[in-house]
């Protein structure tokens, strides 16, 4: 049996998901990069190298998920970690009075139901390895801007799903949720063309905007044996912004 730990990361072709995949590969994991964009998925895996496998995955499609996990079973014979990162990330800014049901449902299908379906079909493999799940939420589960109801609802739901599953899946499988704040996931070209301002950084109690590496570091810890006494928890990774009291001047 393959002794290298294996982790499936959804939405990992770019941004936070890719950062997590790169960190885990550096730590010795074999990472399965699952993404709806098959071409970008392959490119991401090629950048990481032999520690990564690209696989087309639509988290809204239960058949796609079953097929992917069958392929993981056949290729590796194990699954030690699952990171539910795939999401519609644009909060939308659509007034609830004009928000169509299909728009609302699109957020639920990807951001919340997708995590449920992945966990449903991955749990047997994870139980066999006494593995761990990390769900990627958002600080918008706790605080909001106007017209972000659909996005906030899915991230709040993901937090509740996390602690419920932690009770059901224990003691074999641990489940935790990370809520990122402002994470700069733009490409290097965009970062150069539209750099963040000093004010962008200064508003954070830690003095800077976050990076995918910040979320990747916490994910790596929560998947590791060092976090063996931690389950059912929500972790804010937002530079302290959810603890900062702000009033309009």
- Catalytically annotated residues: 151
Cis peptide preceding 171, ω within 30 of 0:
yes
**CA distance linking residue 150 with residue 145, whole number of Å:** 12
Minimal CA–CA distance to 57: which of 20, 110, 128?
Answer: 110
| Contact status, residue 109 vs residue 60, Cβ threshold 8 Å | yes
Structure tokens at 123: 């749990």
Minimal CA–CA distance to 180: which of 224, 133, 134, 115?
Answer: 134
Task: Tell me the C-alpha to C-alpha distance, in Å, between residue 135 and each of 86, 114, 145, 240.
Answer: 10, 11, 22, 20
Residue-level length of the chain: 249
**CA distance linking residue 167 with residue 77, whole number of Å:** 26
Residue 236: other Cβ atoms inside 10 A: 18
Token pair 């379906």 is at which residue? 117
- In the sheet that holds 174-180, the strands lie side by side as 52-56, 30-35, 6-10, 81-84, 132-136, 174-180, 234-237
**CA distance linking residue 188 with residue 136, whole number of Å:** 23
């Amino acid at each position: 049996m393959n002794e290298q730990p294996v982790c499936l990361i959804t939405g990992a072709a770019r941004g936070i998901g890719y950062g997590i995949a790169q960190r885990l590969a550096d730590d010795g994991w074999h990472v399965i990069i699952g993404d709806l964009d098959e071409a970008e998925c392959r490119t991401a895996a090629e950048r990481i190298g032999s520690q990564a496998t690209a696989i087309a995955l639509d988290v809204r499609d239960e058949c796609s998920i079953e097929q992917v996990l069958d392929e993981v079973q056949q290729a590796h014979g194990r699954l030690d970690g699952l990171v539910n990162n795939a999401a519609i990330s644009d909060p939308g800014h659509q007034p609830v009075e004009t928000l169509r049901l299909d728009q609302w449902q699109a957020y639920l299908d990807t951001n919340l139901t997708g995590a449920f379906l992945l966990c449903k079909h991955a749990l047997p493999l994870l139980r066999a390895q006494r593995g761990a799940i990390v769900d990627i939420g958002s600080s918008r589960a706790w605080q909001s801007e106007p017209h972000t109801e659909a996005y906030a609802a899915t991230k709040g739901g993901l937090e509740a799903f996390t602690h419920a599953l932690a009770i059901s899946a224990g003691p074999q499988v641990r489940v935790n949720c990370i809520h990122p704040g402002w994470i700069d996931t733009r490409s290097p070209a965009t970062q150069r063309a539209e750099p963040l301002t000093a004010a962008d950084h200064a508003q954070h109690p830690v003095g800077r905007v976050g990076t995918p590496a910040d979320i990747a570091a916490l994910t790596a810890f929560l998947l590791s044996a060092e976090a063996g006494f931690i389950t059912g928890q929500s972790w804010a990774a937002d530079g302290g912004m959810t603890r900062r009291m702000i009033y309009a001047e």
